[in-house]
């Protein structure tokens, strides 16, 4: 029985293999971008690279204009890819770095059959950009296989082009948000490194001071014992006072070192949180049909989550995410337009209360904590009002949601009481 490749451009595996001989290593090095047939460059640039990465490269090579459209940008780099120029070399480097895992995986394949099978597995799994570049740049790829994968990607582009335009706009917006977070993370890393360097210099200074103080303290102790019976009581008192002062200075220096270490730990935790948010954004960018389904599977079991404060423009996206995770999201703006008196009813209705610490008033936070204590509700703050921070908070607080849900009395129990 023939096995059929399950993708939009149907070609039987046996029919393809019958046209292709086993590849015996005609090349030992992978193809560079300009060595690949130029008719494939359009699909490579469009499938394997994002518009944000193309715009970053355009800024580096000074290809900019106020009227530069996405289509102009795409056409420019497709044209440059045909020759061994600086732009083509930069594109080749970005492709290899971006799809390093797929290139490494496909480098183990030595025959047309193995390459074709690997492509089918990646295609069916949705891992298309990396696999597409890995196949077309493989040292042993032949014309038949190039035509096969190009045709499948070509047909897939038609399907994608017919999808909802709102999904495309949302994807572009998420790409911009991801770029902003990447830039903020880079700045945070540089700032963190500078602070660590400064604190290390301060630590070294205090370590030297402590060492000198210890030597001086030991010397003073020795001298005071050797001449104790020869010195007058006033001299002994002066020496003891100086020793006490040195010990106090030593204690204060040690406390300052402890504070600096605590600050270093806090900065490290902040960097770790930013990295987790970037991972969440990367996962969101890879999924078009639902913003949360690629993350760790969650089941909120019908839990009602009250979100207080935050940005109104994010609420609909957060509500869609919670609905996808089998929950319900209700929102209170924290007193901007709706009265804080209405907050009590929302807290009573909810299972768990969350709020972004950077986008909610202090008075609203005090009321939230008081109401949650009165009604035995769980609450926890989110680091920022961003979508990624909300998603990460839900992921990390899932056990709290389950606990709160299990403690909520059922409707039948309420009636009985």
Asked if residue 24 lies in contact with residue 136, where contact means CB atoms within 8 angstroms, the answer is no
Range list of H helices, 99-164: 100-106, 112-125, 128-136, 143-161
Short-list 393, 385, 325, 391, CA closest to 361: 385
DSSP-assigned states of every residue in 373-415: HHTT-EEEEES-SSHHHHHHHHHHTHHHHHHHHHHSPPHHHHH
Report the alpha-carbon distance of residue 272 to residue 264 in Å, rounded.
12
Q: Read off the tokens for 63.
A: 């290809």
- pLDDT tens string, the chain, 417 residues long: the values are 333 334 433 333 444 444 444 444 456 789 999 999 999 999 999 999 999 999 999 999 888 877 789 999 999 999 999 999 999 999 999 999 999 999 999 999 988 789 999 999 999 988 899 999 999 999 989 999 999 999 999 888 777 666 555 666 777 788 788 888 988 988 999 999 999 999 999 989 999 989 999 998 888 877 777 666 666 677 788 888 888 888 888 888 788 887 877 777 767 766 666 665 565 555 554 444 444 444 556 788 899 999 999 998 899 999 999 999 999 999 998 876 667 778 899 999 999 999 999 989 888 899 999 999 999 999 989 988 888 888 888 887 766 555 555 555 543 343 333
Q: Where are the domains of the chain?
A: 13-162, 167-285, 304-416
Q: Are 294 and 287 in contact (CB under 8 A)?
A: yes
Question: Measuring CA to CA, which residue among 123, 184, 101, 139 is closest to residue 23?
Answer: 139
| Per-residue pLDDT, 6 | 40
Instruction: Please calculate the CA angle 386-391-393 and round it to the nearest 5 degrees.
Output: 95
Total residues found in the chain within this entry: 417
- Strand-by-strand arrangement of the 328-332 sheet: 328-332, 304-308, 352-356, 378-382
CATH of 304-416, picked from 3.90.1150.10, 3.40.50.2300, 3.40.50.300, 3.40.50.11540, is 3.40.50.2300
Q: How far apart are CA 171 and CA 25, in angstroms?
A: 40
Q: Name the pTM for this structure.
A: 0.38
Q: List the structure tokens of 271.
A: 């960097």
Cα–Cα distance for residue pair 282/291, rounded to 1 Å: 11
Token pair listed for 362: 């202090």
400 vs 354: CA distance, rounded Å: 12
Distance CA 405, CA 69 (A): 50
Q: 347 burial class (0-12, 13-18, 19+ CB within 10 angstroms)? A: buried
332 forms bridges with which residues in the sheet?
308
């Amino acid at each position: 029985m023939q096995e059929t490749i399950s993708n939009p451009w149907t070609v039987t595996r046996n029919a393809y293999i019958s046209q292709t001989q086993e590849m015996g290593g005609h090349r030992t090095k992978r193809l560079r971008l300009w060595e690949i047939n130029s008719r494939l460059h359009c699909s490579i640039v469009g499938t394997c690279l994002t518009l944000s990465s193309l715009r970053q490269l355009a800024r580096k090579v000074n290809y900019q204009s106020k009227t530069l459209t996405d289509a102009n940008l795409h056409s420019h780099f497709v044209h440059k890819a045909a020759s061994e120029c600086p732009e083509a070399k930069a594109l080749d480097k970005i492709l290899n770095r971006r799809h390093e895992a797929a290139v490494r995986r496909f480098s183990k394949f030595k025959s047309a059959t193995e390459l074709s099978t690997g492509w089918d597995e990646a295609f069916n799994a949705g891992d298309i950009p990396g696999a597409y570049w890995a196949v077309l740049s493989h040292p042993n790829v032949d014309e038949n296989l190039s035509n096969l994968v190009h045709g499948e990607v070509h047909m897939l582009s038609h399907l994608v082009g017919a999808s909802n335009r709102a999904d495309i706009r949302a994807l572009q917006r998420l790409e911009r948000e991801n770029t902003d977070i990447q830039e903020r993370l880079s700045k945070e890393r540089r700032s963190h490194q500078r602070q660590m360097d400064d604190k290390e210099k301060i630590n070294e200074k205090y370590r030297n001071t402590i060492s000198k103080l210890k030597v001086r303290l030991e010397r003073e102790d020795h001298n005071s014992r050797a001449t104790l019976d020869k010195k007058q009581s006033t001299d002994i008192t002066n020496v003891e006072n100086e020793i006490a002062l040195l010990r106090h200075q030593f204690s204060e220096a040690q406390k300052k070192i402890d504070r600096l270490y605590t600050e270093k730990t806090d900065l490290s935790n902040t960097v770790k949180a930013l990295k987790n948010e970037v991972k969440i954004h990367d996962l969101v960018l890879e999924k078009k049909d639902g913003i949360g389904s690629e993350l760790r599977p969650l089941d909120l079991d019908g839990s009602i989550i009250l979100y207080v404060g935050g940005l109104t423009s994010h609420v609909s996206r957060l509500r869609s995410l919670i609905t996808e995770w089998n929950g319900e999201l209700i929102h209170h703006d924290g007193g901007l337009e709706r009265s804080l008196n209405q907050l009590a009813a929302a807290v009573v209705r909810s299972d768990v209360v969350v709020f972004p610490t950077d986008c909610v008033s202090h008075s609203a936070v005090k009321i939230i904590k008081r109401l949650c204590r009165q009604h035995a509700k769980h609450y926890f703050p989110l680091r920022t009002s961003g979508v990624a921070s909300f998603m990460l908070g839900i992921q990390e607080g899932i056990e709290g949601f389950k606990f709160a849900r299990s403690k909520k009395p059922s409707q039948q129990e309420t009636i009985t009481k």
